[in-house]
Amino acid sequence: MPLIMIKCVRTGQVVATGMVIDRDAWIRLPADWEGDRFLCAACDTVHAWIKRDAFLDFTRERALRQ
């Protein structure tokens, strides 16, 4: 399953939220759905986020298929 990613508001780096979700479930979620807070690997701060600010990273999923 793809990872849910956001852009760190402090560093601008793309970071994983630690959550995964299948594409169909992601599509059904409203834009203001709140994901779990997480400790950001880029800035060592806890971030809150909503779906509107996030995107799915299918890279890992594609690598597993190869």
Query: Within the chain, where are the H helices?
Result: 23-28, 59-65
- Per the CB < 8 A criterion, the answer to whether 7 and 13 are in contact is yes
Kindly report whether the global pTM for this prediction surpasses the value 0.75.
Answer: yes
pLDDT at residue 47, rounded to an integer? 97
Domain assignments of the chain as residue spans, ordered by start: 3-58
Cα–Cα dist 13/33, whole Å: 22
Cα–Cα dist 47/65, whole Å: 31
The parts of the chain modelled with pLDDT lower than 70 are 60-66
